[in-house]
Structure 1
Amino acid sequence: SYHIDRAPSDAACAWTRHGKRFVGAVEKGNILACQFHPELSGAWGRELISRWLAC
């Protein structure tokens, strides 16, 4: 799977571990990228998608 293993110094990052530690999500300004499927993440994922669509 594609991933980044170093956090950009000017972005907010969420880290995770699956075999090794990597950045699971990055936010910078109005850009948010994630290395997971929010639609499969239950209520939390639905809320995240709702917030994206509200922007």
Structure 2
Amino acid sequence: MNLTIHYVPLTDTGLFRALYRLKSRHGLHHPIRLSIDTLGNQMVESALEKA
């Protein structure tokens, strides 16, 4: 499984900046898969403990 994780601060400018960087790197002519998920602190801490 190829998994890339990118943290985006929960602000409007953080999301805009991340999407702009993605477009700049890959252009608009190549399809990409994008998933936007939000995780609470407890979920992240639990996952890190198990890793």
TM-score (norm 1): 0.27
Which structure features the higher share of helix residues?
A: 2
Structure exhibiting the larger radius of gyration computed from Cα positions: 2
When normalised by structure 2's length, the TM-score is 0.29
More strand by share: 1
